[in-house]
A and B are shown apart, each in its own frame.
Chain A
Amino acid sequence: MIEMAVFALLAVLTIVPAALVVTVKNIFHAALFLVLSLTGVAGFFAMLGADFLFVVQILLYAGGITVILLFVVLLSGSPKDWLIRQMNEQWLGALAASAVFVAVLAGLFQYLPGPESISAVGPTTELLGVLLLREMVLPFEAVSLVLLAALVGAVLFTRRGEGK
């Protein structure tokens, strides 16, 4: 009962700001709604007992990436660029595509095994660490290499203008 209420609250907190992100005209407001939506997702992690993912979601997405987004908004352009129409003529098609995607996902989720009980879930950090550094060490390192390559690439792209 309480679980259902919390779930509903978090769902509203996630979906409504997410919809506002792509509809409000003010880019800064859109970025702030994105923070709210990502925090809602973090709330889902907390509710499902994934404590590590909850904090990482807050640390990286709500506290890191969106701060950089807000930063870029403040730095970019003149005030008239901050108020733009976010949608073009294809919004109806995009809406239909998203609806189909949601329907397919909802259909798929019926065949997934559900968690036995939410209250039985314990701390996950240690399990996650052991999993990442023992069985999954190769994919983990591969992902970190890809991220490193992306980082070096980003530096390379931003440096190009300086050399000329």
Chain B
Amino acid sequence: MSFQTPWAVLGPAVPSQTPEGIRRRYQRSVLLVLFLLGAVVLASVWLGEPAIRFEALMSRLSELVARKGWPWWVPDFVRLIVPCSLILIFVQLVPVFVLWWELKVAAHIQVRLGPMHVGLWHGWAQPLADGLKLLLKEDIVPAGADRWVHFLAPIVAFVPAYVCYAPIPFGADMAAADLDIGVLFVLGLSGLTVIGLLMAGWGSNNKYSALGGLRAAAQVVSYEVPRVISVLPVVMWAGSLSLSQIMAAQSGLWGGVIPKWFIFYPVIGQVSFLIYLICAVAETNRVPFDIAEAESELVSGFHTEYSGMKFAFFFMAEYAYVFLGSALGAVLFLGGAEPLPLMRWLPTYVVFFGKTMFLVFVFIWFRWTFPRLRVDRLMDFCWKFLLPWSLVNVLLAGLVFLVRWG
């Protein structure tokens, strides 16, 4: 056979490496993926809306409480505890999945396979194995470290990520706390993470860590400004800072075809979405904005002196923020859990996760496509390009409002 696969150099052809074998394997993989997706969709349709199910369970619990004469605060307590615990568990699971997704997407962008062995199917258990490895590793504290600051830094970096998930509406009526100031809450509290990075930079007593912490602080504080301003037109349009109301403002269709998502608003919507996306990537300190970690310059920046579980906390914080930025982008610009046309039968949370995972994919795509920016270019880009254009965008949105309702 004249056809040779690139990996034929590894040895004699085995059946799965002949063209027919490869075709068969691809067909099998596509079928398997379609089957898995179908199973997930069917299961979610069968389960229905979790909010309605939860309400039914709660009313049953209230009846039980009334019948058995339990204290009055039991239903309220359950109503408080269950969403909080779900969020806590969810934020733990997000990095596991996003890490696997990143490993696979990165590998395929670089024309390789990525993890294939752990868990038997496409290395799905690789992040779990990594987590176990990090748990078992020795926790090293440098001799000259500022012990308390070094110890607390990963916690300060990770805890805001938990809190920020509270107002995210994962579907219809699925926000753990539907805050009236949702957008500001998420943007404001996620800014606290940078204090953890600065603490890591100081506490490690290492020049690379300190430089990484400095760069992280400069970058996050700078990109916070255009990020908040890019969200303003959305808030102006929806007339509310509450995430569920912003989501509700994007329901419906234009001319029965185009969904009223904010990204489809001519010019203003697209400009804000682009600025938001760039700033969201920059806030997570990922390539092309990863000057805070920059392996080739700073070893690995602020987490140079961290090992084991403390390092894992920084890592999990990064992935939690990737998902958070995507979820916020999906709610603000892609209509959140508002269904796609012709797909109204899908439960709202499936729609939400679909859009969010698409944005997560864009984040990963960014990371493996663009080279790292230089420090001064990064700052120039923020202050001299993103900030003026986001301000122009807000002015433009204001002009539109003035003409339409002035």
Contact = CB atoms under 8 A, between A and B. Distances in A.
A70 B217 contact: yes
Which of B198, B199, B217, B241 has the most CB atoms of chain A within a 10 A radius of its CB? B198
Interface stretch (A6-14, A52-60, A93-101): A52-60
B230 to A, nearest CB: 15
A67 B198 contact: yes
Given A51-B181, A74-B202, A58 B192 contact: yes
B198 A71 contact: yes
A123 interface: yes
Given A29-B149, A68-B221, A74-B202, A125 B241 contact: yes
A153 interface: no
A67 B195 contact: yes
A30 B29 CA distance: 57
Interface stretch (B120-128, B182-190, B323-331): B182-190
Band of interface residues on B: 20 to 34
A123 B177 CA distance: 14
Nearest to B191: A63
B181 A32 contact: no
Contacts of A28: 146, 149, 202
B214 A71 contact: yes
A71 B221 CA distance: 11
Interface string B187-220: 1110110110011011000000010011001101
A58 B241 contact: no
Band of interface residues on A: 20 to 34
B63 interface: no
A55 B228 CA distance: 13
B221 A67 contact: yes
A64 interface: yes
A103 B258 CA distance: 64
A75 interface: yes
Nearest to A63: B191
Contact of A55 (B184, B213, B220, B224): B184
A29 B214 CA distance: 16
B181 A55 contact: yes
Interface string A40-78: 000000000001100110110011101110110111000
A64 B221 CA distance: 7
A118 to B, nearest CB: 16
Contacts of A35: 195
Contacts of A74: 198, 201-202, 210, 213-214
B402 to A, nearest CB: 14
B297 interface: no
A74 B184 CA distance: 29
Contacts of A32: 149, 195, 199
A28 B217 CA distance: 15
Nearest to A39: B192
A59 B194 CA distance: 12
Given A58-B188, A63-B192, A51 B180 contact: yes
A63 B194 CA distance: 8
Given A51-B180, A55-B181, A55-B185, A71 B217 contact: yes
A52 B195 contact: no
A163 B387 CA distance: 26
Contact of B188 (A56, A68, A75): A56
Contacts of A66: 195
A103 to B, nearest CB: 34
A62 B188 CA distance: 9
B348 to A, nearest CB: 24
A74 B202 CA distance: 7
B179 interface: yes
Contacts of A26: 146
Interface in B60-104: none
A59 B241 contact: no
Contacts of B220: 67
Contacts of A67: 191, 194-195, 198, 217, 220-221
Which of A28, A56, A58 has the most CB atoms of chain B within a 10 A radius of its CB? A58
Nearest to B193: A63
Contacts of B221: 64, 67-68, 71
28 contacts: A26-B146, A28-B146, A28-B149, A28-B202, A35-B195, A52-B181, A55-B188, A56-B188, A58-B188, A58-B189, A58-B191, A58-B192, A59-B187, A59-B191, A63-B189, A63-B192, A64-B224, A67-B194, A67-B195, A67-B217, A67-B220, A68-B221, A70-B195, A70-B217, A71-B218, A74-B201, A75-B214, A125-B180
Interface of B: 146, 149, 179-181, 184-185, 187-189, 191-192, 194-195, 198-199, 201-202, 210, 213-214, 217-218, 220-221, 224, 241
User: Which 8 residue pairs spanning A and B have beta carbons closest together?
Assistant: A63-B191, A59-B188, A123-B180, A55-B184, A55-B188, A70-B198, A58-B188, A71-B217
